Amino acid sequence: MGKFGIGKESIIMVFIVGVLVVTVSTNGYIYGILASVISVFIFNYYFTVPLHTFITYHTNDIVLMVSFLVVSLISGTMTKRFQKQLLIAKKNEHTARLLYKVTESFLNITGKKNIIMQGIDYIYQNTSYSSKVFLSDAKEAYTDDSRAFVVDEMDIMEIPIKGLTKQLGIMQVAYSKKNFSLEHELLIKTVVTQMGISLDREFIYNERENIRIAMEREKMRSNLLRAISHDLKTPLTGIVGASGVILENLTKLDNCNIKKLVCDINEEATWLSNLVENILNMTRISEGKLMIEKNYEVVDDIVYEAIRHVKNFSNTKNISVSMPEEVVMVFIDGKLMVQVLINLLDNAMKHTGDDCKIQITVYVHNDSAVFEVSDNGSGIDNNIEDSLFDSFVTSSVKTIDGKRGMGLGLSICKSIIEAHQGTITAGRSKEGGALFRFTLPLMEEK
């Protein structure tokens, strides 16, 4: 090689590169060490004097070969070590990504069962191990119905599911010791930890929600008692007064005055009856016990039944009706829908004068029946427009009949309409008064 100007040092560098290639391409240190030793013998045999022997006469060649062997071993060992560190780093990155996905997967899950099934499914997808969960407050175990909990020839691992203050349950994992790794163990424990955090969060949320509902019910009860004590007093006073006048002056009063007083008593009693019906409906709605018994009802019958219930007011109110020529039938609870129309008509009568008009319009649009109750009164108070359908919301404007009302009618209307998969809105009529429009599906929803 000397005639080409290539020195022994350059040849040794080529051998070192070969050793590094062998070290990178193989697993373990042994192949790199063997490559280093074999390279020394090859260099000795082909490139040192005397050639083609393993004998060396020059001290310089011996130092060169020893240095080559040491450098090869060190470089090969360091290369293999760096290679292992790279593999460990990649494995750690994979584990970190996996754990991040575990944490992220539990962030937006709500519901006890959904949280548990997410954990069970995640463990199976990443380890192929089946598992089941036993909660302290549940009699039955949670498991994936689509996959059997196989325990034959498998070991059982039990991991406690811990919350902030107490143990919530345990998870059982059927695993094989032969294929079980530290990564599997870390993944399973991370899933169980996230399940505990999510279940704790769900428990705290449910507690807060129960407290909020209890506070709302208490507030509603207080408002109801306050409203009842105020609003029952006026009609009861009227009934007692009118009946007392009749009893004390029965022989002195003529038929015309007696009839007027009886009409007053009937009017106040009708208002009280409507109030009691609204209170009962509100109680059923707040407790989730409002029973909906749907049947196909003729729209005409519903409208005129509601008008008949408010006939005591019809002497001073002009109620006109616009109906389709064809018979329209709607799948509804007739009694509740009559109550909706009664509440809307009563609301219109309270806020209009004796010379004002109330219009009931019914028509069919697409697959829905549309009901409109409008008047030409003063319209909706701007102060309560956004909360018009909330409970105990009343206008600051004094009503025509002097009764302020409890603010339940429109709230009950909305609840009943929504229970029928319908919608209700409020606006302004062409005459400038209030317009209430609600829609109901014509056919039974499948």
**What pLDDT sits at residue 180?**
83
Helix (H, G, I), strand (E, B) or coil at 405: coil
Helix (H, G, I), strand (E, B) or coil at 437: strand
High-pLDDT (> 70) share of the chain, % = 84
Q: Select from 69, 101, 133 the last residue of a domain.
A: 101
Residue 242: inside a domain? yes
Q: Are residues 296 and 413 in the same domain?
A: yes
Q: How many CA atoms lie within 13 A of 353 on its CB side?
A: 2
Q: Are residues 366 and 414 in the same domain?
A: yes
**What pLDDT sits at residue 4?**
54
Which two structure tokens, joined as six digits, stand for 380?
Answer: 């909706």
318-322/329-332 β-pairing: unpaired
Domain containing residue 300: CATH number: 3.30.565.10
Residues 399 and 405: beta-carbon distance below 8 Å: yes
Range ranked top by mean pLDDT from 187-201, 247-261, 314-328: 187-201
**What pLDDT sits at residue 402?**
45
Q: Are residues 143 and 240 in the same domain?
A: no
Q: Are residues 367 and 436 in the same domain?
A: yes
Residue 212: inside a domain? no
Helix axes 233-248, 255-286, angle to 10 degrees: 150
**What pLDDT sits at residue 277?**
75
The DSSP symbol for 399 reads P
High-pLDDT (> 90) share of the chain, % = 11
Q: CA 420 to CA 441: how far, in whole Å?
A: 8
Please state whether the peptide bond connecting residue 324 to the residue before it is cis, i.e. omega within 30 degrees of 0: no
Residue 314: inside a domain? yes
Domain containing residue 169: CATH number: 3.30.450.40
* 16: pLDDT strictly greater than 60: yes
Q: Are residues 437 and 295 in the same domain?
A: yes
Q: Are residues 317 and 418 in the same domain?
A: yes
Residue 276: inside a domain? yes
Residue 77: inside a domain? yes
Helix axes 8-25, 30-47, angle to 10 degrees: 160
Range ranked top by mean pLDDT from 47-51, 379-383, 419-423: 419-423
Strand order in the sheet with 155-162: 142-143, 130-135, 167-175, 155-162
Q: Are residues 142 and 202 in the same domain?
A: yes
C-alpha closest to that of 36 among 3, 4, 84, 68: 68
Q: Are residues 305 and 421 in the same domain?
A: yes
**What pLDDT sits at residue 300?**
93
Which two structure tokens, joined as six digits, stand for 2?
Answer: 């000397």
224-239 pLDDT, tens digit per residue, is: 676 666 667 777 888 8
Task: Compute the average pLDDT of residues 402-409.
Answer: 56
* 446: pLDDT strictly greater than 70: no
Q: CA 93 to CA 31: how far, in whole Å?
A: 28
Q: Are residues 163 and 33 in the same domain?
A: no
Tell me the backbone φ, ψ of residue 373, rounded to 5 degrees. Answer: -120, 115
Residue 360: inside a domain? yes
Q: Are residues 375 and 306 in the same domain?
A: yes
**Count of all residues that appear for the chain in the document:** 446
Q: What is the pTM of this model?
A: 0.48
Which two structure tokens, joined as six digits, stand for 259?
Answer: 């009839």
**From the DSSP assignment, how many helices (H) and strands (E) are in the chain?**
10, 11
Residue 227: inside a domain? no
The H-or-E segment that residue 130 falls in is strand 130-135
356-405 pLDDT, tens digit per residue, is: 788 999 999 988 999 999 988 777 777 766 677 776 555 544 444 444 45
**What pLDDT sits at residue 83?**
78
Which two structure tokens, joined as six digits, stand for 291?
Answer: 């029973």
Ordered alpha helix ranges (H), 59-127: 59-105, 112-127
Helix (H, G, I), strand (E, B) or coil at 67: helix
213-224 as b/e: b if 16+ CB within 10 A: eeeeeeeeeeeb
Residue 109 vs residue 145, higher pLDDT: 109
Residue 213: inside a domain? no
Domains of the chain: total: 4
**What pLDDT sits at residue 266?**
84
212-228 pLDDT, tens digit per residue, is: 888 877 876 776 676 66
Q: Containing domain of residue 41, as a range?
A: 2-101
In the structure, what pLDDT confidence band is assigned to residue 298 with cuts at 50, 70 and 90? very high
Q: Are residues 278 and 307 in the same domain?
A: no
Neighbours of 84 (CB within 10 A): 11
In the structure, what pLDDT confidence band is assigned to residue 182 with cuts at 50, 70 and 90? confident
Q: Select from 172, 207, 242 the last residue of a domain.
A: 207
Locus of tokens 């809105």: 425
156-173 as b/e: b if 16+ CB within 10 A: ebebebbbeeeebbbbbb
Domain containing residue 282: CATH number: 1.10.287.130
Locus of tokens 């007392």: 244
Q: Select from 191, 207, 223 the last residue of a domain.
A: 207
**What pLDDT sits at residue 230?**
61
Q: CA 283 to CA 441: how far, in whole Å?
A: 26
Q: To the nearest whole number, what is the mean pLDDT of the chain?
A: 80
Q: Are residues 328 and 261 in the same domain?
A: no
Q: CA 83 to CA 30: how far, in whole Å?
A: 15
